[in-house]
Amino acid sequence: MRYDLKHLATFVAVAEELNFHRAAERLTMAQPAVSRIVLELEERLGVKLLERTTRKVRLTESGRYLLEEAQDILGRIDVAENTVRLLASGTKAILRIGYTTITGHSLVPDITREFRNANPDVRVELTYLHSPAQRDKILQDEIDLGFIEGSFQNSEIESRPVAHHRLMALLPPDHPLTSRTELTVEELAREQLVMGTNAEWPTLRRIVIDAFQNAGQVMTVAQEAPSLVGILGLVTAGVGITIFTGMPRFCGEQAIAPRPIVTDPPVIVESHLAWRRASISSAKRRFIETSQRVGRAYMT
């Protein structure tokens, strides 16, 4: 190696102090040792970094350039060392979280807010993924935790319920069915429905289809859209009504009228938090605990 961090750190101290004596005190080293290390650095680089006189020390142009680079290098090393220590203690980490549309409009935001407030040094990366995709990415270690609909039967995966949802019809405020306080599947079977696509909404589509089939009904899908925003836009435009799990928090009843759907037996959509059994960190454990605590309000 031409030079090491000791050379850079010693040079930076001298360059910032522009005084070998003060630099030696700062480094708790003998002044001759400081002079020798700086001289070694110059010899190994083959350039003069400092101009020395009996009265002062001045940086050369090469010295000024190296000072900026060395300060940056040493600063990044300090950050890396601190981060490693924090990671080892579990107080700093990156958590990659998958979520679905069902959990993304209220449950996950509430959990994320509580977790971030208590763990400001942990970065939470949120990624929208439908439930089957989350299962794959958890197994492939591409996400750390996932909010999925239903439990995950796999020996490598652990999951816990964090929320219960009931089916809700979302209608335009001027729709005739808004005169009812609750709706049946038989009534909905006579309506034009706006639904999420099979590609983006595979789990909810299956749940709704099962509810219709259990009631001996067939749903009529007038229009599909891949996102909740697109679906609600179509509903407010009068294209049809939709079926979701609750009322999205960002919707006002002046734009969307929610009505509970009555089924026998009641249809309960259960959201689970899932993760790999073999990969559990302190930060992940705290996120799981936060999810269960916040999720109690969603378990009615």
The reported pLDDT for the residue numbered 1 is: 56
Q: What does the alpha-carbon distance between residue 96 and residue 229 come to, in Å, rounded to a whole number?
A: 24
Q: Where are the beta strands (DSSP E) in 48-108?
A: 50-52, 57-59, 93-99
What one-character-per-residue DSSP string does 237-274 give?
Answer: TTS-BEEESS--TT--TTT-EEEEEE-SSPPEEEEEEE
Neighbour tally for 215: CB within 10 Å: 15
CATH number of this structure's domain 5-89: 1.10.10.10
- Residue ranges covered by each domain of the chain: 5-89, 93-164+269-298, 168-266
Is-contact 277 154, C-beta < 8 A? no
Per-residue pLDDT of the chain in tens (300 residues, 90 and over written 9): 577 889 999 999 999 999 999 999 999 999 999 999 999 999 999 999 999 887 889 999 999 999 999 998 998 898 788 777 766 666 678 899 999 999 998 999 999 999 999 998 888 999 999 998 999 999 988 999 999 998 777 888 999 999 999 999 999 999 999 999 999 999 999 999 999 999 999 999 999 999 999 999 999 999 999 999 999 999 999 999 999 998 988 787 788 999 999 998 899 999 999 999 887 888 899 999 999 999 999 987
Output phi, psi for 162, to 5 deg: -125, -10
The superfamily CATH assigns to domain 168-266 is Periplasmic binding protein-like II (3.40.190.10)
As given in the structure block, the two tokens for residue 25 are 């005190």
CATH topology of domain 93-164+269-298: D-Maltodextrin-Binding Protein; domain 2 (3.40.190)
Contact 175, 241 (CB under 8 A): yes
The residue written with tokens 């019809």 in the block is: 169
In which element (H, E) is residue 72 found? helix 61-89
Burial profile 149-184: b = 16 or more Cβ within 10 angstroms, e = fewer: bbebeeeebbbeebbebebbbbbbeebebbeeeebe
Say whether 168-266 and 93-164+269-298 share the same fold.
Answer: yes
Predicted local distance difference test score (pLDDT) of residue 108:
96
